[in-house]
Amino acid sequence: MREVAIVAFAQSDHLRTTDELSEVDMVMPVLHQVLAQTGLKTSDIGFTCSGSSDYLAGRAFSFTMTLDGVGAWPPISESHVEMDGAWAMYEAWVKLLTGEVDTALVYSYGKSSPGSVRDVLTRQLDPYYVAPLWPDSVALAALQAQALIDAGETDEPALAGIAARSRESASANSHAQVKGSVPQGDYEVQPLRKGDCPPVGDGAVAVILAAGDKARELCERPAWIRGMDHRIEAHSLGVRDLTDSPSTRLAAERAGAFERPVDTAELHAPFTSQEVVLRKALQLADDVTVNPSGGALAANPIMAAGLLRIGEAAARIHRGESDRALAHATSGPCLQQNLVAVLEGDAR
Amino acid sequence: MPEVLKAPLVVEFPFTRSLGPVQSAFLTGLRERTVLGVKTTDGLVMVPPVEYDPVTADELRDLVEVEPTGTVTTWAWNPEPRRGQPLDTPFAWVLVKLDGADTGLLHALDAAGPDAVTTGMRVRVRWAAERTGAITDIACFEPYEGAAAHTEPTAHDGQFDDAVSGIVAAARLDYVYSPGRAQTAYINALADRRTVGERCPSCRKVYVPPRGACPTCGVATTDRVEVGPAGTVTTFCIVNVKAKNLDIELPYVYAHIALDGADLALHGRIAGIPYDQVRMGLRVEPVWTEGGRYPDHYRPTGEPDADYDTYKELV
Amino acid sequence: MSSTGHATHKEPVAVVGIGQTKHVAARKDVSIAGLVREAAQRALEDAQLTWADIDAVVIGKAPDFFEGVMMPELYLADALGAVGKPMLRVHTAGSVGGSTALVASNLVASRVHRTVLTLAFEKQSESNAMWGLSLPIPFTQPLLAGAGGFFAPHVRAYMRRTGAPDHVGSLVAYKDRRNALKNPYAHLHEHGITLEKVQSSPMLWDPVRYSETCPSSDGACAMILTDRAGAARSPQPPAWMHGGAMRSEPTMFAGKDFVSPQAGKDCAADVYRQAGIADPRREIDAVEMYVPFSWYEPMWLENLGFADEGGGWKLTESGVTELDGDLPVNMSGGVLSTNPIGASGMIRFAEAALQVRGQAGEHQVDGARKVLGHAYGGGSQFFSMWLVGAQQPTS
């Protein structure tokens, strides 16, 4: 397999609302930052891929306008997934593995503030049996949380502990939306309290991938992608064991995550209870640093939060704070679809 | 900087969903107070019945009837019901394994409060008074004292009189739309009947309407430049089809107009000249109506036509 | 976009299974899952494979608002046998069907997976395409004309630039509708079509007539892509991928050439380079191109390098693009006869593959060895193309 690394990462500040910014206004500075980090120009990039959702924007083809921020002239080799940017990165990684190109720009963004995320996400559900009932994303996560509590795998104080640890970690993250000491608050949907839920906000993220010597040239300590895989589960909650995540486990296995221990894990767990599921599926030891960025509980720009996890993990390798990190992204109700990437830095 | 513009954006449509045979049988069954499941190749009974086995991907067609009573497998108390949800008073979301089924059905449970709900509690279907063949024919579940019925699900041919073949799924989402900085400035200038674009600091091209970024350079456009008011028709078509929500007499001319000083054309209607006399190169100017946010149309200025070579890069 | 010397050689990619639904205005007898399943099942049967043989699924469609289901692949995972497998969802506007196939092909070419199911669909009868395309955006001037109002001015610009006579668009429509009669999966089967009928159809967006526009369809298209080992087991002759590329340019920009976009030229040039094509007009046997309005055939003939500027309409007018011509175009009847938007690009790619496999039935071009599949979308913004051949590429 060809050596491919993440060589640059940038993100916007994650904010509750960004009315003054169009999507391109939000994305463009982040693109400029990753290009500046590597000294590359748009015309030097071999492949560009992005992730976003029309349903967040409330407009069809919303991604076509964001392409303005890339400066796609002369024309570029480019693609888009209607998914979290983590899957855009997967597509770009595969493109690099073909050997056709040596560099790729990947970005994604989520401007959740114009709509009601809880209602918008109901449109992801089975359109015949489930979507007509409008069960919102917090309600579905709460069903999962109760299943975990019933199974004796967690309890409300433990969940509160995850929330507190995440936001405490986020104190060191200047881009985070929610940080520091935050009260758990009332039940949104019992057993999940406000503190167990992710903030709703807007944000953008970008990474640059490069292969082999190009990566070494562009980055002092590239975050090598040792493996990446993603898997999906059955859609209906009623046929799944909500206390487990077999798709995460399988993706991690295929990505080589279990070959030796990781020191860091950035998990895309928008709800505290989902961290419990993921830790178990990923067999994370107690000494693994989980979500040092604060994770999705500190900033959860929909469609960008997964790529953000990968970027945060890569940045720790770039900075020498990690040697082997696992990054995870999720999509769909109650962790239906999961992606795992294993990143490593060269020995120091 | 003035406040950015904001306005409600309602995305609403009654989607017409056709049903496959399994869904048709299940939803018609609900109308008839009959709950159907489907048997997988491994002998599991799935309720609600799915069309394709999630494990083997087999097409499933083997319908069975199960009980309208069941057991809660997990639940979540919803203190503030949202629009469209089954009940408008606080309720529990539940996954219910109906008696005879091996999988859970997601719905609402009407209960007095979170203390009245437990995993493992017995519930039964409360049928909606008016039933049309939809998942909402189950109004909700309600607590039920009876023990689990250990009857084997019975085979069902899925046949009902007047089976439903589709559902209408009305969906409404509310957004607050803001066009952002650049377009707000453009729209505000239009209110003064001025057309103001933005120039790219890199390639110097003037964008009208401005979109915040120069799409070829990938940098923010900032310098405001007033263009027009007159311009040149670069190309057009004659419209003979009524457009939705527009009350314009047919036929009319829809044109691309390069305003003087702009580096790309915008779109507008041409009037004040017979439709069959509109031509590429025609010089036009905007005509405003009282309170209009945009020029109502453009009309000929009377100037000689622009030479093709002067605008062919803008076509 | 250079490649370093140490790059590994790509795994050759073969198409061993193709399936389509019969495209119609409204498939009232199936769910969305039932629709995609039908195409996928036919592709599996064509390849004589089972769901268990598929390593990954790559699915594409146009905007989610068309069916009102956000990221419908989540709900479709079960129907497509994707549970426990990777599933990717591509969306690149109208070019998406082509882009989706290319993303799937990269999974094989990179040797990440061996056998991949790729599928694209649209069930337009669930809503109304014009609703999905023209959601009311506050402060924005409402669209002054329907879909044709977007395309017709560019057609006029083409006619002005090249001096093409008025009747060329009708010739294309007449040809494509006749070709559709030979394709059992095509949506429009206008028996008794004549050139006079096309030319007397109402002028909707002058210069575009009713018969020169595409229908609105429900439909799905699927392909099974695999590696050399998979191709060796294929019961039918495979189609081999000789080149594939995507190119994008901004939607609207100063200097954009809507008649012959640079992204289309660059995309074609990249495909020809990969496939070792020096003279597309001589070396390519047939083309399935994305022609939603008839005049786009002569326009794309020029954009894709089959004719010099101004020469596209002459090829059409002289009958070169007829089914029995020297360079048949849209043998299947094309988008003009079948348009499930998100699937339309993949149908072009699949029909190209059918031709080199010799399995296009009544619309087969005798001896087709190299065929181009072409898709585009957005405001002539996104392009995706592949060239498939009857022989495994040599390099």
How confident is the model over C279-317, as pLDDT tens digits?
999 999 999 999 999 999 999 999 999 999 999 999 999
- pLDDT band per the 50, 70, 90 thresholds, residue B293: confident
Q: Which chain B residues have a beta carbon less than 8 Å from that of A334? A: none
Neighbours of chain C (3+ CB pairs under 8 A): A, B
Sign of the CA dihedral running C319, C321, C327, C331: negative
Interface check A333 vs B, CB under 8 A: no
Reported as a single tens digit per residue, the pLDDT across A31-81 is: 999 999 999 999 999 999 999 999 998 888 889 989 999 999 999 999 999
Residue C65, pLDDT > 90, answer yes
User: How would you class A220 by CB atoms within 10 Å of its CB: exposed for 0-12, middle for 13-18, buried for 19 or more?
Assistant: exposed
Give the phi and the psi of residue A330 in degrees, each rounded to 5.
-135, 160
Alpha helices (H) along chain A: 23-38, 54-57, 62-66, 85-97, 117-120, 137-150, 156-170, 212-218, 246-254, 272-282, 305-318
What is the C-alpha separation between B183 and C205, in angstroms, rounded? 29
Please give the share of chain A, as a percent, with pLDDT higher than 90: 96
**Pairing relationship of beta strands A289-290 and A264-266 according to DSSP bridges:** parallel
- What gap in Å lies between CA C100 and CA C88, rounded to an integer? 9
CB distance from C152 to chain B under 8 Å?
yes
Angle between helices A137-150 and A272-282 (to 10 degrees): 60
| Mean pLDDT computed over every residue of chain B | 95
Nearest CA in chain C to B184: C139
Q: Is C206 within 8 Å of B238 when comparing Cβ atoms?
A: yes
| Range of lowest pLDDT (A257-266, C142-151, C158-167) | C142-151
Q: Which residues contact B126 (CB under 8 A, 6 or more apart)?
A: B110, B138, B139, B140, B141, B142
Give the count of alpha carbons within 13 A of B163, CB side only. 17
In the structure, what pLDDT confidence band is assigned to residue C231 with cuts at 50, 70 and 90? very high
CA distance B123 to C107: 48
Residue in chain A lying closest to C135 (CA): A59
Interchain CB distance below 8 Å, B180 and A145: no
Residue C390 neighbours by CB distance under 10 Å: 18
- Token pair belonging to B11: 């995305």
8 A C-beta contact, residue B103 and residue B185: no
Q: Does C75 touch chain B if contact means CB atoms closer than 8 Å?
A: no
* Residue A219: closest CA among A10, A35, A4, A8: A8
Residue B150: pLDDT above 80? no
Environment class of C367 (CB within 10 Å of its CB; exposed 0-12, middle 13-18, buried 19+): exposed
Is pLDDT above 90 for B30?
A: yes
- Please state, in angstroms and as integers, the Cα–Cα distance from residue C213 to each residue in A317, B238, C97, C337, C358, following that order: 55, 15, 20, 9, 29
CA gap A212, C134 in Å, rounded: 45
Mind listing the pLDDT tens digit for each residue in B262-289? 999 999 999 999 999 999 999 999 999 9
pTM of structure:
0.97
Amino acid at A88: A
Q: C106: closest CA among C23, C225, C8?
A: C225
Report pLDDT for B299.
98
Asked if C199 has any chain A CB less than 8 Å from its own CB, the reply is: no
Q: Which residues of B touch C208 (CB under 8 A)?
A: 237
Task: Please compute, for residue C53, the number of CA atoms within 13 A of its CA located in the half-sphere on the CB side.
Answer: 21
Cα-Cα end-to-end distance for chain B: 34
Predicted local confidence at residue B2, as pLDDT: 60
Question: Which residues are paired to C387 by β-bridges?
Answer: C243, C372
Report residue C6's pLDDT band, with 50, 70 and 90 as the boundaries.
very low
Nearest CA in chain C to B262: C254
* CB A233 within 8 Å of CB C83: yes
Strands in B35-39's sheet, in edge-to-edge order, are B45-46, B35-39, B63-66, B154-155
* CA–CA gap between residue C108 and residue A118 (Å, rounded): 37
The b/e string for B207-217 (b: 16+ C-beta within 10 A; e otherwise) is: bbbbbbbbbbb
**Which residues on chain C are in Cβ contact (under 8 Å) with A126?**
75
Say if the Cβ atoms of C206 and B166 lie within 8 Å.
Answer: no
Q: How confident is the model at residue C258 (pLDDT cuts 50, 70, 90)?
A: very high
Q: How far apart are CA C152 and CA C181, in angstroms?
A: 26
H helices of chain C, in order, are 32-47, 73-76, 96-109, 129-133, 147-162, 168-180, 195-199, 228-232, 262-275, 280-283, 296-303, 312-317, 334-337, 341-357
Enter the DSSP assignment of A59: S
Residue A333's DSSP bridge partners are: none
Instruction: Give the per-residue pLDDT at B97.
Output: 97
Whether residue C240 has pLDDT greater than 50:
yes
Per-residue pLDDT at B292: 84
Helix ranges (H only) for chain B are 21-31, 180-191, 308-311
Contact indicator for A194, A202 with CB cutoff of 8 Å: no
Q: Write out A168-214 in H/E/C secondary structure.
A: HHHCCCCCCCCCCCCCCCCEEEECEEHHHCCCCCEEEEEEEEEEHHH
Question: A23-38 vs B180-191: helix axis angle to the nearest 10?
Answer: 140
Q: Establish if A219 touches chain B: CB-CB under 8 angstroms.
A: no
End-to-end CA distance of chain C: 19
Query: For residue C237, is the peptide bond before it cis, meaning its omega torsion is within 30 degrees of 0?
Result: no
Q: Is the pLDDT of residue C110 over 80?
A: yes
pLDDT of residue B255: 96
Confirm or reject contact between C48 and chain A (CB < 8 A). no
Half-sphere exposure of C64 (CA within 13 A, CB side): 30
pLDDT-above-70 percentage for chain C: 97
Choose from C21, C24, C31, C259 for mutation: most chain B CBs within 10 A.
C31
Q: Give pLDDT tens digits for A234-251.
A: 999 999 999 999 999 999
Partner residue opposite C204 with nearest CB, options B20, B23, B241? B241
CB contact under 8 A, A69 and B136: no
| Closest residue in chain B to residue C154, using alpha carbons only | B235
- Contact A10/A107 with Cβ under 8 angstroms? no
Minimum-distance CB partner of B241 among C67, C146, C207: C146
Amino acid code (one letter) for C203 = M
Residue closest to A239 by CA, chosen among B155, B51, B32, B25: B51
pLDDT digits (tens, 9 = 90+) for A118-150: 999 999 999 999 999 999 999 999 999 999 999
Q: Are strands A337-344 and A187-189 parallel, antiparallel or unpaired?
A: unpaired
State the burial class of residue B168 (Cβ atoms within 10 Å of its Cβ: 0-12, 13-18, 19+). exposed
- Residues β-bridged to residue B154: B65
Nearest to C384 by CA among C356, C353, C344, C357: C344
Average pLDDT of every residue of chain A = 97
- pLDDT higher than threshold 70 for residue C3: no
What sign does the CA torsion over A256, A261, A263, A267 have?
positive
If DSSP codes are grouped into helix, strand and coil, which group holds residue C11?
Answer: coil
| Residue C201 pLDDT | 97
Tell me whether B167 touches chain A (CB under 8 Å): yes
Mean predicted confidence (pLDDT) in B186-192: 92
Chain C interface, best mutation among B175, B239, B253, by max C CB count within 10 A: B239
